[in-house]
Amino acid sequence: MEQPQQPAEPEAEDTAPADTAAAGPATAGTEATDPSGRTTRSPAPADRPPLRVGMVGYAFMGAAHSQGWRTAGRVFDLPRRPVLSVVCGRDRAAVRAAADRLGWADTETDWRALIARDDVDLVDICTPGDSHAEIALAALAAGKHVLCEKPLANTVAEAEAMTRAAEEAYGRGQMAMVGFNYRRVPATALARRMVAAGRLGTLRHVRVAYLQDWLVDPGFPLTWRLRRELAGSGSLGDLGAHIVDLAQHLAGERLAGVSALTETFVRERPLPGGTRSGLSAVAAGGTGTVTVDDAALFTGRFASGALASFEATRYATGRKNALRLELNGERGSLAFDLERLNELWFHDGTDPGAEAGFRRILVTEPDHPYLDAWWPPGHGLGYEHTFVHQARDLVHAVAEGRRPDPSFADGLQVQRVLAAVEESAEKNSVYTPIAD
């Protein structure tokens, strides 16, 4: 059987509990004080037990995950030392070039061979969604830990099978995590901490939009992300999975039901040819049919009665990666914009009216989540750091024998929300409960 296509899932895609992340690594290490008076940690010592990683896929998400694995042990004091053992792709020359570029020691051209290797403890899945279930199930059966990019699978049935396998594997000491990396932005981790501490009071509204524009050109080729048999869905799974997970994570509760609209604006596109990288591609001859949604718009109700609205599109001309969210509660509100990811805006509704208003929190202090290991206050982080934090949290979960967060069960629940959105849209937006 052929190796899955190697372009990885969209930015595609939780943080450790915010209080754990904020407190820094649980294991003491070599510490020093820099000129600013800030405590710094040495890289993970070479005598720490290795956590040997094998990664399947090396494109967009593969590059991002590689950055995380390369960097985590050099920034955080980890109980195990990540080792980039082997990366897998179908094209021997291309995967060798990727290994050299991204820092992997060896290569394979068949993911089954990667799973069978003795020098792989954890399998990191960065392939299109149609191969997630097969690879994850095989890796868990072989005794490996698993990190799988989001969305967890292309169907609820696949996600259910993966979750059952992960639960059985947990009983054998294996960990399985899904990669919702936006939980690991320090500002969103801080937002979760503030909500959990009751700073907003009873939640009333959650509104989230994830806007991109890389499909505005009707001449953009028909890549795998536009084919349902490979991607599962379009903007809904690509972007919507992120915002459903993030909204539920920050709210601390799950959606109970949704009412949805979806649309495909351009239904025929040129077939792709040549080299593809990340979100870019070139066209070849002929055209093919787009079989996924271009945009999804839906409302929802949380179990508590709080109302939510969601928009996911790759047709928002001028918006490159604009994930924006706001939570409103009886006592306050929080707002976040991924394109200004070092900032969190907070309105304290208990302030006197003459002094009330949103104020900016610059999330760069050492007592903010994850930031005790980074730079002095005011020195911001970026997109790639979410993958460093993801690797950090998974290494701790594996070493400590605790269930990673978000788990495959969390990924399954998001998959059920996406399925309910599609069902509602097919039925003229009828309110559709989320399956248990």
27, pLDDT greater than 70: no
417, pLDDT greater than 60: yes
The rounded percent of the chain whose pLDDT value lies above 90 is 84
Q: What is the mean pLDDT of residues 17-33?
A: 38
Annotate 144-199 with DSSP letters as a single string.
-EEEEESSS-SSHHHHHHHHHHHHHHHTTT--EEEE-GGGGSHHHHHHHHHHHTTS
The reply to whether omega before 50 is within 30° of 0 (cis) is: no
| H-only helix segments in 50-103 | 60-75, 92-102
Angle between helices 156-170 and 408-426 (to 10 degrees): 170
For 243-292, what is each residue's pLDDT tens digit?
999 999 999 999 999 999 999 999 999 998 866 655 667 777 799 999 99
Angstrom CA distances, 249 to 295, 330, 354, 410, stand at: 23, 19, 33, 10
Please tell me the distance from the alpha carbon of residue 132 to that of residue 435, in angstroms, as a whole number: 22
Q: What is the mean pLDDT of residues 294-323?
A: 97
Please tell me the distance from the alpha carbon of residue 376 to that of residue 38, in angstroms, as a whole number: 7
Please tell me the distance from the alpha carbon of residue 29 to that of residue 157, in angstroms, as a whole number: 44
The rounded percent of the chain whose pLDDT value lies above 70 is 88
For 133-185, what is each residue's pLDDT tens digit?
999 999 999 999 999 999 999 999 999 999 999 999 999 999 999 999 999 99
Angstrom CA distances, 92 to 95, 116, 195, 280, stand at: 5, 18, 48, 22
**Sorting pLDDT into bands at 50, 70 and 90, what band is 45?**
low
- According to the model, what pLDDT value does residue 436 have? 85
One-letter amino acid of 317:
T
206, pLDDT greater than 90: yes
For 65-124, what is each residue's pLDDT tens digit?
999 999 999 999 999 999 999 999 999 999 999 999 999 999 999 999 999 999 999 999
DSSP 340: G
Q: Do residues 78 and 390 make contact, with C-beta atoms less than 8 angstroms apart?
A: no
3, pLDDT greater than 50: no
Q: Do residues 290 and 269 make contact, with C-beta atoms less than 8 angstroms apart?
A: yes
Fold of domain 18-181+403-407 = Rossmann fold (3.40.50)
CA atoms within 13 A on the CB side of 159: 25
Residues of the chain with CATH 3.40.50.720: 18-181+403-407
**Sorting pLDDT into bands at 50, 70 and 90, what band is 26?**
very low
The two beta strands, 145-149 and 122-125, are parallel
For 344-363, what is each residue's pLDDT tens digit?
999 999 999 898 999 999 99
Lowest mean pLDDT: which of 2-6, 58-62, 393-397, 404-408?
2-6
- According to the model, what pLDDT value does residue 28 have? 37
16, pLDDT greater than 60: no
For 362-409, what is each residue's pLDDT tens digit?
999 999 999 999 999 999 999 999 999 999 999 999 999 999 999 999
- According to the model, what pLDDT value does residue 400 have? 98
**Sorting pLDDT into bands at 50, 70 and 90, what band is 213?**
very high
Helix-strand-coil percent breakdown of the chain, rounded to 5? 35, 25, 40
Higher pLDDT, 288 or 21: 288
Residues of the chain with CATH 3.30.360.10: 183-382+414-432
CATH number belonging to the domain at 183-382+414-432, selected among 3.40.1390.10, 3.30.360.10, 3.30.470.20, 3.20.20.10: 3.30.360.10
